[in-house]
């Protein structure tokens, strides 16, 4: 019996605030095999088990970690999810995508394009990103008239009052930036509150010089990987949050930032803007290699392979035991 957690697992100081910690951990420990996105998520889970479930014993292993609980052995591992690299790369070469990406660039002559694509959600760090962009324009005048932020916000849960209020915060920030810095021929933020079709999305990935992926917390964030897959010219810059799961895999090429640090993110925008073509290419090649090799098919194979190996080791008595998972 296996389980994969797509979202981040919190550290103990956050997890300890939950009212039913033991019940949740006990339910998860009914599985034979648990998969997590990153090493950090795995460490957090093991740390919580050690501090909350006194009767459980966590044993460090080189490959899969082991927890002994209620006369059973539960294996744990990290398996970062990937994308279908070949599908995105092939899609980015289609005639329609090429035309749309060229048109996108033609709309902003002389500007580097910075792309943000996010679902309307507080975890994506959109207001923090906009404040950092505003700070960059304030403190680094050379960016004015030479960069454009294309921020796409995909509608989500807009019928919930707090999400509606959250959207209004974004609207006000965009209005403030455009009101303060725009000129007769330059609008610093192009804001779209809608979803993009696949061809338009790939065209934006191909056409934008910098990807701005700065969630406050994210299990993986596949936008970062999709952007790399579509950069078939092996150029482009990825500004990526430390708190995105993808940072663990893409740290050799991405510019990593703390999305809560407005000045750091603002300075990183300037660094990305000034980055040479040679540096951009070297970084993007490294990231594309990782995304190509650690794709969604490799993720499926590695997770299922680990699970099947475990099934062969589990005694038949334990494998055939019908367990009841506590209701939450």
Q: What DSSP assignment string belongs to 213-250?
A: E--SSBS--HHHHHHHHH-TTS--EEEEETTBTTHHHH
Contact call for residues 23 and 327 (beta carbons, < 8 A)? no
Q: Provide the Cα torsion 316, 317, 319, 325; round to 10°.
A: 180
**Torsional sign, CA 141, 143, 144, 149:** negative
Catalytic residue among 6, 86, 164, 279: 6
146 three-state secondary structure: coil
- Name the catalytic one among 41, 140, 218, 277: 218
Cβ-count burial 63-84 (b if 16+ within 10 Å, e if not): ebbebebeebbbbbbbbbbbbe
Instruction: State the Cα–Cα distance between residues 207 and 160, nearest whole angstrom.
Output: 34
Q: Count the helix, strand and coil residues of the chain and give each as a percent rounded to the nearest 5.
A: 50, 20, 35
Active site residue 140: no
6 is catalytic: yes
The residues annotated as belonging to the active site are 6, 218
């Amino acid at each position: 019996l296996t389980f994969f957690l797509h979202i981040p697992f919190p550290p103990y100081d956050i997890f300890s605030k939950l009212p039913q910690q033991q019940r949740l951990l006990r339910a998860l420990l009914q599985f034979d095999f648990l998969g997590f996105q990153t090493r950090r998520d795995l460490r957090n889970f093991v740390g919580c088990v050690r501090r909350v479930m006194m009767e459980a014993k966590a044993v460090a292993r080189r490959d899969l970690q082991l927890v002994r609980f209620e006369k059973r052995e539960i294996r744990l591992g990290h398996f970062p999810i990937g994308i279908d690299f070949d599908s995105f790369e092939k899609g980015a070469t289609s005639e329609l995508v090429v035309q749309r990406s060229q048109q996108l660039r033609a709309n902003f002559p002389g500007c580097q394009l910075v792309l943000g694509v996010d679902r309307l959600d507080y975890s994506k760090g959109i207001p923090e990103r906009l404040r950092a962009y505003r700070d960059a324009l304030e403190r680094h005048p050379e960016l004015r008239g030479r960069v454009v932020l294309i921020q796409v916000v995909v509608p989500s849960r807009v019928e919930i009052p707090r999400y509606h209020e959250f959207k209004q915060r974004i609207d006000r920030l965009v209005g403030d930036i455009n009101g303060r810095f725009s000129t007769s021929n330059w609008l610093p933020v192009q804001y779209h509150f809608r979803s993009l079709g696949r061809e338009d999305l790939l065209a934006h990935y191909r056409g934008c010089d910098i990807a701005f992926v700065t969630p406050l917390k994210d299990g993986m964030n596949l936008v970062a990987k999709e952007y790399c897959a579509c950069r078939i010219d092996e150029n482009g810059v990825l500004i990526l949050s430390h708190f995105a799961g993808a940072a663990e895999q893409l740290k050799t090429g991405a510019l990593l930032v703390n999305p809560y640090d407005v000045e750091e993110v603002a300075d990183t925008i300037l660094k990305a803007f000034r980055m040479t073509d040679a540096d951009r290419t070297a970084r993007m090649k490294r990231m594309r290699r990782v995304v190509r090799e650690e794709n969604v098919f490799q993720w499926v194979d590695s997770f299922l392979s680990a699970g099947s190996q475990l099934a062969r080791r589990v005694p038949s008595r334990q494998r055939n035991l019908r367990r009841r998972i506590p209701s939450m």
